[in-house]
Amino acid sequence: MNIDLGAKSCQGDANPARSHVEATCQARAAQPLAEDNSLAEDRVARFLSMMWSEDVRDIEAGLAVHIIQELITGLYRRHWPLGLISPPVQLRAFGTWVLEGVPEGSSYCSAQWYVDQSYEPSVDKIVGSRFLRLVEAEPWQQSDPHYDLAVVGQDLIASEETLRAAPDSFVLGAALPGMAAVISVCRLRRILGIHEWELAMRRLLVHFWGHVIGLPGGRYAASDAPGHCPNLCVMRVAHDAGELMRLATEEEEAEITFCRECDERMKGIIIGYHFDLS
């Protein structure tokens, strides 16, 4: 597995030297300089930042990173066999990052800060819309636009509205299409069987990757809102772990991940970013 910034080393580092800001600067610095003879090389590919909360287990974080890395590699091989040197979207797994040199509790000081800020004690859940608002407003999202995918261990509720109207409800993930998503592995921990659990994790991660890059189109806040694919496709909505398993099994048997429309749209979106045509 080829990850730009080792999630595990970041996570286990006693003196974490890699701040999010430093790493985004590295991402810019790592881009090749413009060359007259190469359109592919003179554009900055958008990168995907992955982070997770402290209560996400190593096995969950490891699988999540593996799934996304494999997805990106698969896309690259399928769509760009002829000469792009780097994948169109690069994964940067920041894990449970901590910003160096700022007091604990300061705004945007760590991955856990997003979780603490969006936690609602009355329902013991993270509010998806709160989390996503923080991501949208983060300083490095402004200075260096990128995709964000966060994994949390606590249960998730969609928004302030659902908090008031249906406090007992939950979602498996919430998205800001074209920019960010937060997913919860909480409900998946109850799935029995390693194959079933991996299948559910994959279905959840790939689905929300789709939302992060802007599939299938339109702007909506949570996974149970409109904006899903009507085809046999990973972009169909799943409201709970049971439904997620049912859809995942159906798609696995049909050997389908993204339907043709979503696959083409994904390719278009990524090429647009990579070549900065949009």
Q: Does 159 bind Zn ion (CB under 5 A)?
A: no
Question: Please, what is the minimum distance in Å from the beta carbon of residue 80 to Zn ion?
Answer: 21
CB 159, CB 176: distance < 8 Å: no
Q: Does 10 bind Zn ion (CB under 5 A)?
A: no
Of 48, 111, 245, 259, the residue at the interface with Zn ion (CB under 5 A) is 259
- Binding-site size, Zn ion (CB under 5 A): 7
Q: Does 213 bind Zn ion (CB under 5 A)?
A: no
Question: Please, what is the minimum distance in Å from the beta carbon of residue 238 to Zn ion?
Answer: 8
Nearer residue to Zn ion within complex by CB, 157 or 235:
235
Q: Each residue of 109-124: b (16+ CB within 10 Å) or e?
A: bbbbbbbeebbeeebe
User: Secondary structure of the chain: what % helix, strand, coil (to 5)?
Assistant: 45, 15, 40
Nearer residue to Zn ion within complex by CB, 127 or 229:
229
Q: Does 233 bind Zn ion (CB under 5 A)?
A: yes
Nearer residue to Zn ion within complex by CB, 140 or 147:
147
Distance CA 54, CA 271 (A): 34
Pairing of strands 90-95, 125-127: unpaired
Distance CA 89, CA 86 (A): 8
Which region among 80-88, 112-120, 122-130, 230-238 touches Zn ion (by CB under 5 A)? 230-238
Of 89, 109, 229, 248, the residue at the interface with Zn ion (CB under 5 A) is 229
Decide: helix, strand or coil at residue 126. Answer: strand
Tell me the β-bridge partners of 47: 90
Of 170, 223, 241, 245, the residue at the interface with Zn ion (CB under 5 A) is 223
Question: Please, what is the minimum distance in Å from the beta carbon of residue 219 to Zn ion?
Answer: 13
Question: Please, what is the minimum distance in Å from the beta carbon of residue 208 to Zn ion?
Answer: 7
Decide: helix, strand or coil at residue 94. Answer: strand
Distance CA 269, CA 263 (A): 10
Q: Does 205 bind Zn ion (CB under 5 A)?
A: no
Nearer residue to Zn ion within complex by CB, 7 or 50:
50
Burial class (CB in 10 A: 0-12, 13-18, 19+), 231: middle
Q: Does 179 bind Zn ion (CB under 5 A)?
A: no
Question: Please, what is the minimum distance in Å from the beta carbon of residue 48 to Zn ion?
Answer: 17
Interface ranges with Zn ion (CB under 5 A): 223, 229, 231, 233, 235, 259, 262
